[in-house]
A and B are shown apart, each in its own frame.
Chain A
């Protein structure tokens, strides 16, 4: 039960932060990415602001053995980068630029995003479903 409450608290605060920061507005995101247009630096403030509490949080994980619910903290990620990290990030960035939405803001704006917002979420879910066969195909090609 504690896990569920904490997850809801986190999700709710995440959604509120996305709305307050302006990141659910596609023109602000595209304004940040469009360095040759009317460049909008807001996203730098959002990312910088979000990293600050997390610097402290990661530091706190070194001081205690377990999370509040008794789960261990996430292990250090595999230091190897791999082709999928780069290919995936390039594809994600292209889609993010095209529409101005990434997964968090797409879900957060569901209640006011209209049919366009719903279409984006459905396409994103479709993409997530076909990602595994695509990954297998890429890995096969990379092994040649």
Chain B
């Protein structure tokens, strides 16, 4: 059961990497989710708004169309604690814009070109995520 999840992780990961390769070799751009969204939100990326909107629309629609393929109900299993959701969302929004990237931009696209910035960012967000789990789950018990 657990091993099956790893295989699906690898297959899904390969798909994510191919998606990033299409964006790079096709449009000459880094496939970073926070950058694509953030450029629309803070209006710094309106120059190529159409490709950003097309990317995001397909990002929403394609997995939605795949849901019937699953025999069990697909869920994000997100917490019901609204305060935690808002705090997490704010931190992700501020943090990814300050750092100029998230898991896709720094992690997938940065590490694969041996970018020091991508590697350092990945080390710090993994460490912070691990510490957040210790603090908020095991010490404070809020998640």
Which residues of A approach B to under 8 Å, CB–CB?
A: 2-28, 30, 33-37, 40-58, 60-61, 66-69, 71-74, 76-79, 81, 84-114, 116-117, 119-132, 134-135, 138
Contact = CB atoms under 8 A, between A and B. Distances in A.
Contact of B27 (A34, A71, A100): A71
A119 B75 contact: no
Contact of B102 (A17, A27, A47, A92): A92
Top 7 A-B pairs, shortest CB-CB distance: A127-B93, A49-B13, A21-B12, A123-B89, A93-B128, A95-B91, A88-B98
Size band of the interface chain B makes with A: 35 or more
Interface string B71-114: 00011111110101111111111111111101110111111110
B107 to A, nearest CB: 6
Interface of B: 2, 5-31, 33-34, 37-38, 41-42, 48, 50-52, 54-64, 66-67, 74-80, 82, 84-100, 102-104, 106-113, 115-118, 120-122, 124-134, 136-138, 143
Contact of A68 (B25, B110, B127): B25
Contacts of A114: 76, 78
A102 B108 CA distance: 13
A102 B133 contact: no
Contact of A19 (B12, B79, B94, B106): B12
B10 to A, nearest CB: 4
Contacts of B41: 125, 128-129
5 contacts: A10-B26, A42-B9, A47-B111, A124-B92, A126-B93
A8 B5 contact: no
Contacts of A7: 23, 26-27, 51-52, 54-55, 58
Contacts of A93: 95, 124-132
A46 B39 CA distance: 26
A93 B43 CA distance: 24
Contact of A14 (B16, B25, B78, B80): B16
A72 B91 CA distance: 33
Contacts of B42: 128-129, 131-132
Nearest to A27: B77
B24 A11 contact: no
Given A56-B21, A95-B95, A104-B102, A10 B55 contact: yes
Contacts of A19: 12, 63, 66, 74
A128 to B, nearest CB: 4
Contact of A11 (B2, B56, B97, B125): B56
B130 to A, nearest CB: 5
A99 B79 CA distance: 7
Contacts of A13: 15-16, 18-19, 22, 62
